[in-house]
Structure 1
Amino acid sequence: MKRFLAQWRQYFVFGAIFSFFLNLLGLTFPLYMLSLFDHVLQSRSVPTLVAVSIAAALAVITQGALDFIRSRLLVRASVAIDDTLSPDVLRTMLKQAAAPGSDQYAVGLRDVNTVRNFLTGTSIFAIFDMPWSPIYIALVFVLHPLLGWVGLSVAAVSIMLSILSDKVSRKPIEQANHLANAAQRLIGTAVQNSHAIQSMGMLPGVAEQWHKMNRLVVALQTRASKRAGLLQSIVKMLRQSIQMAMYGLGAYLAITNQASAGVMFASSVLMGKGLAPLDILISSLKNFIEARDAYHRLDKLFSAPPEPERMELPEPKGEVRAEAVSLAVGGRTLLHNVSFALAPGESMGLIGPSAAGKSTLAKVLLGIWPPSLGKVRLDGADIASWDSERLGPYLGYLPQDVELFAGTIADNIARLGPKDPDKIIDAAQKAGIHEMVLRMPKGYDTPIGPGGIALSGGQRQRIGLARAMYGNPKFIILDEPNASLDDEGEQALLRALAQLKEQGSTVILITHKASLLASVDKVLFLRDGQLLIFGPRDAVFQKLAEANMVRVQRVQ
């Protein structure tokens, strides 16, 4: 975070400068009270009263203007923080979400909002004003030492209460935030699987699990609020008591001619201004803790050194090579020593039993998951050396579960980027959905997702296929592309595969459908994360048939 904060240092420097002059002008009222009681009332001079009042009014107006400018400055800083941090946080969140076995940092954008809201609230002003608290108390000593000692003792008690409030509230607030994030992730998972939950009667179980977590969150927040509320009540009582004590002691000093009436009022005002930042911090302790924790999480997020600038490589032709690729997550080996090569324009069927590692290998080949050992090369270059945003247009991927985004059909086909009508229509025609889209209410501008039309599984699959083929990528992986397709959709898929071969794209097809495998050049058989057979399609199928025949004979 420090490298990001350096970009906004000027905002906080100017905020501190404005705070200096604001607190300097904050002396206006106590000085005005001293002037009224010690000079104006003694001299009974109206011109002096007018002059002092005009000067005080000008100081107050200037103070108000500076306070407004400081507020606007910090609002601008918060907007700059959001604009700078949010894209990097979102990018990091998506990378972590895609990584195998990672602890997903799912509250990153919420942390940015927490920090931004803190910078536009009253707590940040209290932090700027805090250095002036000892100065105000020192001025009370100047007016009279007895008043100063009373103020200093109250300030010490307030600081101890603030520290105590932080200690007794921090742990339950942190636990509540942790549980609240877990409950939010549970709701997100439930929403993604709402159809399964509804159809299999899982709603009571999900609701009960969420209620248990939410009850704990509420209990922890209530415990923290009770503790903080007790301390806040003590602080309020202390503030009223100190006001009475200051006035009472000031009156005593005035009666015994040890101080003037102006000193009585001015010392009370100065003490109030000195203790105000502490009162604000204690009353907004929960927001302060949340902002501090959010800052630490963001700081941890950005603690890794930034990725170096990568040289832009030429457009790939589609030569794919896996060199002894292995992947282990949490002590479990998902892939082991997988090696193969595909020339540009070749197609390969990736087959194997369930949980063999086919989808895992697909993610490694596309650079989504970095291999633990070995290399994946695209046109001879390690795929990790490519910048993902520059490489993305040359890759196409159709996952098993196709998710479309809120927007139009054109937005989804164009990968939420700039929409090229020619490329969108070309991809739709290759996927065989051009006529289907034209029959929709607004054609390619038909909204889907929340508030849009509901699509069938086959329609989503075919739009996802068009998205994978958008821009004629050089390397495409289709994971179970026929999963939700009817006969018409499957025929369209076969035509799309033929067109991909004609345009020279390298294609990997994860399927067990014989009609689709008939279109590939090579086949790779994977089992338990290990490559067992790789070679030309017919040769692989012959070996598998022979191995199956031997297995049958052994059983017999």
Structure 2
Amino acid sequence: MGVARGLSEERSELRAALSRCRTALIGVGVLSTALNVLLLGGSIYMMLVYDMVLPSRSVPTLLGLLLMVAIVYVFQSVLEVIRSRMLAGIAASLDAQMRGRVYDLVHRLSLRRASDGDGTQPISDLDQIRNFLVGSGPAALIDLPWLFFFIGVLFLFHPWLGVTALAGGLILIGLTFATDRLSRRPTAAATMLGATRATLAQTVRRDAETVHALGMRRRAAAGWDEISRHFLAAQQRLTEVSGTLGSASKIFRQFLQSGVLTVGALLVIEGKASGGVIFAGSFLTARALAPVDLAIANWRSFITARQGWARLSDMLRALPAEPARIALPPPRLRLAVEHLTLIPPGAEAPSVVDASFVLEAGQAVGVIGPSASGKSSLVRGLVGVWAPARGAVRIDGATLDQWASDDLGRHIGYLPQSVSLMDGSVAQNIARFDPAASPDAIIAAAHQARLHELILRLPHGYETQVGRGGEALSAGQRQRVALARALYGDPFLVVLDEPNSNLDTEGEAALAAAILQVRARGGIVVLVAHRPSALRSVDLVLLMQDARVQAFAPRDEVLKRVSGRAGALPAAGHPPLEDA
């Protein structure tokens, strides 16, 4: 409970998840109480040895006391193991409750934010919280308030012993708060620079071929060196703060132990305390102040976990879990776009402005226009990748946010402009990694993309591993597999963004046939085209320019309008669209 309060006072999903471990947290508190009471055993044993055994020279008494303190230490070690395992169980429970939500958060954040920064930060934050809970930091923080209990026992020995320990304890607590205050800024800087450094490393790794071919290795290395120097400087500042204050705390605690011993000696000289009180008081002071040293030593991980808790709570609050939705019937009628305006993540200017059109079942539209006219942005809005800034996209009357995302995905086939496959087999990629996918459905999708024969020529057929991002396949093969993935399950809406950019003549013929099959079964196709040949299978054309829909009409009518208008033509080097 104390750890939870230290991490955050705000009500959040994380606190709700932690509260479900209430019984375990109460158990940790009870065990901590027993452990700290048992810590008195060593001090009492020392006092009795000096005050009873030595004056009486009684060996049986000494052995009896030894047996009792041994039992105390055994119980103490057992309870310590149980407490550490309970804390590990709490950490595992928190991770089990939140990891699915955190993964969903990473996915949704990647759709709504610019690509800068570390996109896996929520996962790192949850890892930091879990690692803190399984470490020695929580136990130290839980034991820290017991400092005043032990100081109270010292007051029972003699008020001056209590006053000495209390003064030293307050100084150590002041060092703890100073550690907290001075560690916050360098910890935050190190975390931010670490994320930037990780992002840079991912970028260089992803674009390694380009960096090598264009002679950019030294410049990339210079950028890496610069950010690494700042990162290491922040780490060094953090180490200096925590190391300096940690050393000061440790040395002062040793001095305070000697100070208590000195005060006890003076009391014995004056006849106000027994000899056993000297050593018992010194031993008890050391045990009482040990959690302070441990807390300062773990303060860096505590700060990191607390910042991760706050950061993750803010993200979870900004993107709450999707509510349960009534399952809508499969769409079969139309796609309606109503005054749709889209703003790319991280941008201020819209890339699509006030777009409106309607497609009925069995229709296919080719989206054309110059570069940066908003074509790819439009299709991202149609499949729900980007949420509308204004307006709506409706399928059979329901806006996309009225569908559960997984339910909607079954009715959408999407082939993005930049094709990437997931690490797995060809069959798994075509089936969208559905564990319940039937072989017949997978093969049917491959046949629609005219990919079946090509797959059979791969080393292991449908079980061929595509590698990370599909690197084991050629660009054309990746695009064909991604097309089959888009067609899997006979989705109602099929959206293809430049699907023929890496296709040969055979691949383009397969694409045209697939579009005609979708139309024949009553589906809708939206096709972004830069090559005129792709438009042979559509009956409508939508022309975009300057982020707006300039025309939406039958194919031949729009093509006649754009004839001779270079600004509305697709990429240079292709024949005029009307030749299609």
TM-score > 0.5, shorter chain as reference:
yes
For residues 250 and 324 of structure 1, what CA distance do their matches in structure 2 show?
84
Shift of 1:243: 2.3
Whether 2:212 is the aligned partner of 1:198: answer yes
Shift of 1:48: 3.2
230-239 vs 112-121, greater mean Cα deviation: 230-239
Describe the shift of the 1:461–1:262 C-alpha distance in structure 2 as closer, same or farther (beyond 3 A): same
Shift of 1:209: 0.9
Aligned equivalent of 1:508, options 497, 511, 526: 526
Aligned equivalent of 2:38, options 25, 36, 52: 25
**Corresponding residue for 2:428?**
411
**Corresponding residue for 1:321?**
336
For residues 374 and 416 of structure 2, what CA distance do their matches in structure 1 show?
14
Letter in 2 for 1:81: L
Superposition map of 1:173-212 within 5 A: 173-212=187-226
**Corresponding residue for 1:435?**
453
Aligned equivalent of 2:554, options 536, 546, 551: 536
Describe the shift of the 1:3–1:451 C-alpha distance in structure 2 as closer, same or farther (beyond 3 A): closer
**Are the counterparts in 1 of residues 364 and 524 from structure 2 also a CA contact under 8 Å?**
yes
**Corresponding residue for 2:250?**
236
Shift of 1:262: 1.9
**Corresponding residue for 1:60?**
73
Shift of 1:103: 7.1
For residues 310 and 102 of structure 1, what CA distance do their matches in structure 2 show?
30
For residues 114 and 435 of structure 1, what CA distance do their matches in structure 2 show?
49
**Are the counterparts in 2 of residues 318 and 475 from structure 1 also a CA contact under 8 Å?**
no
Whether 2:378 is the aligned partner of 1:378: answer no
CA-to-partner distance for each residue in 1:334-381, whole Å, 9 max, x for gaps? Answer: 111111011122111111110011111101111111111111100111
For residues 68 and 302 of structure 1, what CA distance do their matches in structure 2 show?
34
TM-score normalised by length of structure 2: 0.90
Describe the shift of the 1:180–1:116 C-alpha distance in structure 2 as closer, same or farther (beyond 3 A): same
Shift of 1:143: 0.8
Aligned equivalent of 1:354, options 363, 371, 374: 371
Describe the shift of the 1:451–1:470 C-alpha distance in structure 2 as closer, same or farther (beyond 3 A): closer
For residues 365 and 203 of structure 1, what CA distance do their matches in structure 2 show?
39
CA-to-partner distance for each residue in 1:234-291, whole Å, 9 max, x for gaps? Answer: 2222122122222233233334332222212221222112211211111122111111
Q: Secondary structure of the equivalent of 2:330?
A: coil
Q: Secondary structure of the equivalent of 2:350?
A: strand
Shift of 1:102: 7.8
**Corresponding residue for 1:310?**
325
Aligned equivalent of 1:48, options 53, 61, 78: 61
For residues 549 and 429 of structure 1, what CA distance do their matches in structure 2 show?
38
Give structure 2 stretches of 5+ with no counterpart.
Answer: 1-13, 570-575
For residues 250 and 197 of structure 2, what CA distance do their matches in structure 1 show?
35
**Corresponding residue for 2:165?**
151
For residues 522 and 30 of structure 2, what CA distance do their matches in structure 1 show?
64
For residues 558 and 60 of structure 2, what CA distance do their matches in structure 1 show?
107
CA-to-partner distance for each residue in 1:474-505, whole Å, 9 max, x for gaps? Answer: 11101000111122222222222222223322
Describe the shift of the 1:548–1:133 C-alpha distance in structure 2 as closer, same or farther (beyond 3 A): closer
Shift of 1:540: 1.6
Whether 2:479 is the aligned partner of 1:461: answer yes
CA-to-partner distance for each residue in 1:294-346, whole Å, 9 max, x for gaps? Answer: 11101111224543321111111252100111123543121111110111221
TM-score normalised by length of structure 1: 0.94
Q: Secondary structure of the equivalent of 1:111?
A: helix
CA-to-partner distance for each residue in 1:145-192, whole Å, 9 max, x for gaps? Answer: 222222112111111222222222221221111111111112222222
Aligned equivalent of 1:283, options 283, 297, 311: 297
**Corresponding residue for 1:472?**
490
**Corresponding residue for 1:342?**
359
Letter in 2 for 1:222: Q
303-312 vs 479-488, greater mean Cα deviation: 303-312
465-474 vs 104-113, greater mean Cα deviation: 104-113
Aligned equivalent of 1:366, options 356, 360, 383: 383
**Are the counterparts in 1 of residues 375 and 528 from structure 2 also a CA contact under 8 Å?**
yes
Letter in 1 for 2:126: V
Aligned equivalent of 1:527, options 538, 545, 556: 545
Shift of 1:132: 0.7
Aligned equivalent of 2:235, options 221, 227, 237: 221
**Are the counterparts in 2 of residues 100 and 369 from structure 1 also a CA contact under 8 Å?**
no
For residues 78 and 126 of structure 1, what CA distance do their matches in structure 2 show?
16
For residues 318 and 62 of structure 1, what CA distance do their matches in structure 2 show?
72
For residues 568 and 543 of structure 2, what CA distance do their matches in structure 1 show?
17
The percent of aligned pairs where both chains have the same amino acid is 38
**Are the counterparts in 2 of residues 477 and 508 from structure 1 also a CA contact under 8 Å?**
yes
Superposition map of 1:441-452 within 5 A: 441-450=459-468
Describe the shift of the 1:485–1:284 C-alpha distance in structure 2 as closer, same or farther (beyond 3 A): same
**Corresponding residue for 2:8?**
none
Shift of 1:453: 6.7
For residues 568 and 63 of structure 2, what CA distance do their matches in structure 1 show?
112
For residues 464 and 85 of structure 2, what CA distance do their matches in structure 1 show?
41
Describe the shift of the 1:9–1:202 C-alpha distance in structure 2 as closer, same or farther (beyond 3 A): farther
For residues 498 and 315 of structure 1, what CA distance do their matches in structure 2 show?
21
**Are the counterparts in 2 of residues 321 and 342 from structure 1 also a CA contact under 8 Å?**
yes
**Are the counterparts in 1 of residues 337 and 394 from structure 2 also a CA contact under 8 Å?**
yes
**Corresponding residue for 1:298?**
312
349-358 vs 239-248, greater mean Cα deviation: 239-248
**Corresponding residue for 2:9?**
none
Give structure 1 stretches of 5+ with no counterpart.
Answer: none
CA-to-partner distance for each residue in 1:13-69, whole Å, 9 max, x for gaps? Answer: 221121111111121111222222223333444443333333322222222221111
Q: Secondary structure of the equivalent of 1:331?
A: coil
Q: Secondary structure of the equivalent of 2:126?
A: helix
For residues 377 and 503 of structure 1, what CA distance do their matches in structure 2 show?
20
Q: Secondary structure of the equivalent of 1:338?
A: strand
Letter in 2 for 1:94: H
**Are the counterparts in 2 of residues 96 and 103 from structure 1 also a CA contact under 8 Å?**
no
Describe the shift of the 1:450–1:334 C-alpha distance in structure 2 as closer, same or farther (beyond 3 A): closer
Describe the shift of the 1:102–1:376 C-alpha distance in structure 2 as closer, same or farther (beyond 3 A): farther
For residues 318 and 179 of structure 1, what CA distance do their matches in structure 2 show?
51
Whether 2:129 is the aligned partner of 1:112: answer no
Whether 2:161 is the aligned partner of 1:168: answer no
Letter in 1 for 2:286: G
Letter in 2 for 1:410: A
